[in-house]
Amino acid sequence: MECKVIIGLGNPGPKYENTRHNIGFMALDVFLKAFCRQKEIKFQAKTRLNAEVCEFTLKGERLFLIKPLTFMNESGKAVVALKRRGILGANDNFLVVHDELDLPLGRIRFARRASSGGHNGVQSIIDSLGHNNFDRLRIGIGRPTDKKEIVNFVLKPFLPEEKKLVDKVLDICSEAIFCYLTQGMGRAMNKYNGLKIE
């Protein structure tokens, strides 16, 4: 059975839950709830993989949802562990879902073979694999006006007034991931890259 892998980026632990940097984790949680019919299936920590893992079958294909537990800046360690264990195929076909400062909240964008754009989690994966030949779903979180505030900004929760839009974005991301898995990257890019979520 063919295996597909979706990796959401974030930082582990209650301290970082619902922060902007963890929207990759949040997107996988919403996707699991929406598309896994077996409600008893949940993420489980796998020490040997440096990640929380959820595995189920979707449309006849084996699907792994992965949340690295290595903290954002060392996300590549979890990806290497997945490769070593044979979960990632020889071609490193997988989708990374992560926050994106260069997109406003309400925008998402699929990308293929792109640079990290300064995202430390993505850069860690590129450095660990030695290439950027993997797919990404970038979820806009906006950018602070003061560049010195970026670290604090990404590690803070979304504002209460943003919650409704965040929930809508996560629902659309869930649909977008399903489209990517079932119809391919080209269709997903055409359908979602120009979409403005309000």
H-run or E-run covering 7? strand 3-8
DSSP state for residue 186 in the 8-state scheme = H
pLDDT for residue 173: 98
Q: Average of pLDDT values for 69-86? A: 92
Task: Render 8-48 in DSSP notation, one character per residue.
Answer: E----SGGGTTBGGGHHHHHHHHHHHHH-S-TT---EEEGG
pLDDT tier, 92 (very low <50, low <70, confident <90, very high otherwise):
low
C-alpha span between 34 and 122 (Å, rounded) = 26
The pLDDT tens digits of the residues spanning 155-194 come to: 999 999 999 999 999 999 999 999 999 999 999 999 999 9
Domain residue spans of the chain: 3-192
Answer for the pair 173, 137: CB distance below 8 angstroms, yes or no.
yes
Stated pTM of the model: 0.95
Model pLDDT, residue 93: 79
| pLDDT over 90 at 45, yes or no | yes
Cα–Cα distance for residue pair 100/130, rounded to 1 Å: 22
**Strand 108-112 versus strand 135-140 pairing type:** antiparallel
Q: Is residue 128 a contact partner of residue 77, using CB atoms and an 8 Å limit?
A: yes
CATH number of 3-192: 3.40.50.1470
Query: How many CB atoms are closer than 10 A to CB 127?
Result: 12
The span from the CA of 20 to the CA of 40, in Å, is 28
pLDDT digits (tens, 9 = 90+) for 100-133: 999 999 999 999 988 998 899 999 999 999 999 9
Please indicate whether residue 21 is annotated as part of the active site.
yes
